[in-house]
């Protein structure tokens, strides 16, 4: 079975010594890429700074740009039909475009979930993007949390996968519940600032810490408030979180009342907002603002859908309240997909082993859902500190994580053999991790202690 698959790889970018790349070098990289045929730079609408390059590819866009930090370069590929095409496009783009340009600027990227040498804390490493300036302003309202201060160095791989509308919520609920398992199996950022940290995944630690310490991010990062009874409840829960930002003619605005939720904005019909320069303006709520409320919501598995913009705000709200969300989705929701957001940047083989694993689970979602039914959201949330500290030695729902992983592996393998979304042989790198009870985090720690930071960086270079 072929499904459309998009891949976004956020890659820690370093100089020849393995230190976080500086802004000048990354700007030079974008300039070099822009000289390639079909590419052009684009700038942040708020700051005017060049933050990436784009090129039209078929029905989509290839984008190479900054993520939260300028020392993280994101390579976002348009969707491809099926596993083989997605894998081929990813390797081709990396080998023929990104790596040669990086090399010409004496830069490289790492198969690691954060910057292993540089403590990328706060504003000093922030990309010059209005969206992330707003993010930092909200985060700094409750400062002093180490992991959540390190956002500019976070990196990840994200899989965007077409899923039938009827399966969207079971997929979302099941994979969110499985978060501790994915952490134990795939964590890789235990080395940060040249030291072994007390957690195995800086990215997941940052998500959970920020959500637990800052009301603005509560219930929208990693773990939602609850698992969802249906798509309508997913949409309502997203709209129940504070407005992150809205856009008018390219200008970003945030509400004067920081706690204003999208649902409250929609119910009132208008609210007071302020732009990046401090100018105040009364804005009317639009269907585009409801769409933004769905975008600025980041559970471990996010549903991406397009609202029908021919509808009014009142019509969208009424349909969702009546349990008919598909009636106000573009194209009846047939272009809805899920974003699997758990995983840090991975090596080449493990990137596609993870993609195959997830496709196997999706092709066997009923069995996967049945297996992980004991993993309530509260259980998964509570298990994360133990998994972060002990990896494979942690337990969940009364059994070792490794025992759950063996059953989950069998579910994925069965799904692949039945649905043929990817060759079952692609699972071997993760089968080896399961047999050896290792993950990339334990590899990094062992290398650092045995060979030192320089050797670790060399092993991580892609």
User: For residue range 191-209, what is the model confidence (pLDDT) as tens digits?
Assistant: 999 999 999 999 999 999 9
Residues 109-122: what's their mean pLDDT? 94
Please give the backbone phi and psi of residue 288, each rounded to the nearest 5 degrees, phi first: -60, -35
User: For residue range 227-273, what is the model confidence (pLDDT) as tens digits?
Assistant: 999 999 999 999 999 999 999 998 999 999 999 999 999 999 999 99
User: For residue range 26-71, what is the model confidence (pLDDT) as tens digits?
Assistant: 999 999 999 999 999 999 988 999 999 999 988 799 999 999 999 9
134/145 Cα distance (integer angstroms) = 18
Structure confidence at residue 1 as a pLDDT band (50, 70, 90): low
68/61 Cα distance (integer angstroms) = 20
User: For residue range 131-148, what is the model confidence (pLDDT) as tens digits?
Assistant: 898 898 888 888 767 777
User: For residue range 400-446, what is the model confidence (pLDDT) as tens digits?
Assistant: 999 999 999 999 999 999 999 999 999 999 999 999 999 999 999 99
Mean pLDDT, the chain, rounded, equals 95
Instruction: Read off the tokens for 370.
Output: 């049945």
42-74 residues labelled b (16+ CB within 10 A) or e (exposed): eebbbeeebbbbbbeeeeeebbbbbbbbbbbbb
Q: What's the N-to-C CA distance of the chain in angstroms?
A: 30
pLDDT of residue 139: 87
The residues with which 43 forms a beta bridge, in sequence order, are 50
Strand 191-192 to strand 195-196: parallel, antiparallel, or no bridges (unpaired)? antiparallel
Query: DSSP assignment of 393-455, as one string?
Result: G-EETTEEHHHHHHHHHHHHHHHHHHH-SS-GGGGHHHHHHHHHT--HHHHHHHHHHHH-HHH
CB 391 within 8 A of CB 441: yes
């Amino acid at each position: 079975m072929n499904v459309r698959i998009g891949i976004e790889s956020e890659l820690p970018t370093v100089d020849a010594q393995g230190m976080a790349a500086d802004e000048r070098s990354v700007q030079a990289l974008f300039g070099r890429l822009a000289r390639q045929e079909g590419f052009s730079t684009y700038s942040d609408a708020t700051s005017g700074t060049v933050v990436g390059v784009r090129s039209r590819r078929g029905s989509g866009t290839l984008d190479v740009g900054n993520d939260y930090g300028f020392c993280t370069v994101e390579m976002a590929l348009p969707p491809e039909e099926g596993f083989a095409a997605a894998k081929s496009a990813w390797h081709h783009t990396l080998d023929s475009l990104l790596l040669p340009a990086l090399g010409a600027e004496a830069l490289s990227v790492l198969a690691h979930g954060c910057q292993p040498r540089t403590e990328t804390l706060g504003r000093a490493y922030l990309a010059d993007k209005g969206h992330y300036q707003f993010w930092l302003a909200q985060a700094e309202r409750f400062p002093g949390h180490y992991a959540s201060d390190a956002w500019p160095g976070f990196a990840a791989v994200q899989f965007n996968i077409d899923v039938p509308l009827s399966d969207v919520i079971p997929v979302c609920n099941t994979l969110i519940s499985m978060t501790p398992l994915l952490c134990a199996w795939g964590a890789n950022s235990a080395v940060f600032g040249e030291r072994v940290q007390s957690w195995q995944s800086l990215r997941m630690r940052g998500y959970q810490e920020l959500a637990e310490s800052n009301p603005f991010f509560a219930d929208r990062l990693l773990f939602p408030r609850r698992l969802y009874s249906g798509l309508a409840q997913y949409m309502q829960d997203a709209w129940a979180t504070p407005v992150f930002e809205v856009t008018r003619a390219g200008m970003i605005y945030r509400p004067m009342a920081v706690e204003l939720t999208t649902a409250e904005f929609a119910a009132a019909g208008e609210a007071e907002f302020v732009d990046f320069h401090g100018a105040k303006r009364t804005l009317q709520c639009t269907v585009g603002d409801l769409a933004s409320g769905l975008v600025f919501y980041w559970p471990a598995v996010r549903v991406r859908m397009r609202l029908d913009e021919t509808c009014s705000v009142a019509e969208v709200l009424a349909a969702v309240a009546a349990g008919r969300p598909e009636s106000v989705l573009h194209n009846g929701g047939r272009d809805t997909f899920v974003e699997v957001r758990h995983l840090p940047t991975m090596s080449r083989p493990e990137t596609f082993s993870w993609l195959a694993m997830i496709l196997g689970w999706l092709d066997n979602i009923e069995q996967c859902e049945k297996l992980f039914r004991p993993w309530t959201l509260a259980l998964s949330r509570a298990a994360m500190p133990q998994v972060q500290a002990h990896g494979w030695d942690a337990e969940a729902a009364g059994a070792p994580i490794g025992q759950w992983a063996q059953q989950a592996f069998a579910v994925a393998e069965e799904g692949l053999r039945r649905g043929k979304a990817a060759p079952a042989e692609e699972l071997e790198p993760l089968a080896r991790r399961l047999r050896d009870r290792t993950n990339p985090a334990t590899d990094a720690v062992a290398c650092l202690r045995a060979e030192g930071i320089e050797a670790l960086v060399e092993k991580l270079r892609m």
